[in-house]
Amino acid sequence: MTTLDEPLQVEGEQQPLSGLAMVPRGPQGQKPADYRSDQEVRWCPGCGDYIILNTVQAMLPALGLKKENLVFVSGIGCSSRFPYYLDTYGMHSIHGRAPAIATGLAVARPDLSVWVITGDGDALSIGGNHLIHALRRNVNITILLFNNRVYGLTKGQYSPTSNQGMVTKSSPLGAPDAPFNPVSLALGAEASFVARALDSDREGLAEVLSRAAEHRGAALVEIYQNCPIFNNGAFDVLKEPGSERRLIKLAAGSPLGLGEPDDQGRHSHLVVRDGGTLRVVARDEADPAQVLIHDPADPDPTTAFALSRLSAQDLSYVVTGVFRAVSRPAYDDDVRRQGEIAAEASPPDLEDLIFAGDVWSVPTHRGASA
């Protein structure tokens, strides 16, 4: 085991280092308004992006950071306008490339809290390659993927998370593509932190976002976001009465259940292991030994993956909360540490570097003998 294999630890602390450990702490008593920029917000009325923006502005003060040390990097899409509305540093970049840009920024600047704002098209179509590699490398960035299951900005074409058969201007006979499940994709890409939240569930979203920010390494949060213009109501079944029978909210250490709770707060249905997969059964049919107790810290992603498969494209079941939160070395920490170790072993000196190796002086010439 090399020194690089150990998660970064602050001396005396038992916990792995927070994702924000090197970001300077800001003044006490920050308010959401401190994070509002002077730009007029220009999403369509009713767009889910508004609620996400408000939630983010409401949760940032609690992180207690200097706001000049926050950077939001986005790609292109309606969602990617997000950084303009936050009074932090920000870059609205190009389509799909925000994770790449954020990687360079995070490597260069350990004192920044770096966020990526992206959409389902931005992250999973054009930027798919960067997303999986940022997750694989475990760069210390927090990625918010606004999934409205459509291309909003370009006026409504189907996206890589749209339902197969969805009729749009670009798919008048129905979209032929099979969709991605973003959480499954992230887990397959070795993500160390994966979560999902609903735009309308402010509390759940805020909770997941602050945990994602605190995670050292790449954190992916998929946010189901309503686009009232091009895919209105895509997630309505999760917001209507009866949604308890669909929504499975992850909580570490407790049995996973869903459905109207009874008077003792017990769910009507439970998630149980069934061979290699998971199944939802009525409480009285559940074998207590097989009831799934959620453990996001499980180093083996198999169960997290099974949970991600439980969430169906048709929303018959949707799992929200933190699927996986494991500690493994962050790429940018490792890259920097290699440099620190090398510099300790051999302090940099430009003159030494340039005058290294076989140098000779003119006029004194040497080596003329055989």
Partner 1 sequence: MNTERIDRVVVRFAGDSGDGMQLVGDRFTGQAAAFGNDLATFPNFPAEIRAPQGTVHGVSSFQVHFASSDILTPGDAPDVLVAMNPAALRANAADVSVGGVVIVDPDEFTKRNIAKAGYVSDPLSDGSLAHLTVHQVTMGALTLGAVSELGLGRKEALRCRNLFALGLLSWMYGRPTEVVEDYLRKKFAKKPLVAQANILAFRAGWNFGETTEMFAVSYEVPAAALPEGTYRHVSGNAALALGIIAAGWVSGMKVVLGTYPITPASDILHELAKHKNFPVLTIQAEDEISAVGAALGASFGGALGVTTTSGPGLALKSETIGLAVMAELPLLVVDVQRGGPSTGLPTKTEQADLLQAMFGRHGESPVAVVAPSTPADCFDAALEAVRIAVTYRTPVLLLSDGALANGAEPWRLPVIDQLPDIRPDFSTEPNAADGSGTHWPYVRDQETLARAWAIPGTPGLEHRIGGLEKAADTGAISYDPANHEFMVRLRQQKIAGIDVADLDVHDPSPATTRTLILGWGSTYGPIQDACRRLAARGVPVAHAHLRHLNPFPANLDDVLARYERVIVPEMNLGQLALLLRGRGATHLVSHTQVTGQPFKAGDLEAAFLAYMEGVAA
> Which residues here bind ligand TPP, judged by CB under 6 A?
76-79, 95, 119-122, 146, 148, 150-154, 159
Rg over CA atoms, the chain: 24
Residues 24-43 that bind ligand SF4 (CB under 6 A): 43
Do residues 86 and 30 make contact, with C-beta atoms less than 8 angstroms apart? no
Q: How far apart are CA 117 and CA 145, in angstroms?
A: 6
Contact status: 228 vs ligand SF4 (CB under 6 A) = yes
Angle at 78 (CA atoms; ends 73, 79), nearest 5 degrees: 45
Q: How far is the CB of 119 from ligand TPP (least distance, A)?
A: 2
Q: d(Cα 342, Cα 329) in Å, to the nearest integer?
A: 18
Q: Would the CA dihedral through 234, 239, 245, 250 be positive or negative?
A: positive
Q: How far is residue 337's CA from residue 334's CA, in Å, rounded to a whole number?
A: 5
Nearer to Mg ion, 155 or 266 (CB): 155
Q: Which of 115, 230 has the CB closer to ligand SF4?
A: 230
One of 22, 60, 100, 209 touching partner 1 (CB under 8 A): 100
- The residue among 29, 107, 33, 116 whose CA lies nearest residue 72 is 116
The smaller minimum CB distance to ligand TPP, of residues 185 and 292, is found at 185
Binding residue for partner 1 (CB under 8 A) from 47, 51, 65, 71? 71
Mask of contacts with Mg ion, 71-110, x by CB under 5 A? ----------------------------------------
Tokens read off for 137: 């490398």
Q: Does 345 bind partner 1 (CB under 8 A)?
A: yes
With CB under 5 A as the contact rule, the residue among 119, 204, 259, 321 that binds Mg ion is 119
Q: Are 73 and 101 in contact (CB under 8 A)?
A: yes
Strands ordered across the beta sheet of 269-274: 257-258, 269-274, 277-282
- In one-letter notation, the amino acid at residue 15 is Q
Binding residues for ligand SF4, rule: CB under 6 A, are: 43-44, 47, 49, 78, 148, 152, 227-230
Binding residues for partner 1, rule: CB under 8 A, are: 37, 39, 66-71, 73-74, 76, 83-84, 87-94, 97, 99-109, 111-112, 129-130, 133, 335-336, 338-339, 342-343, 345-348, 350-351, 353-363, 365-370
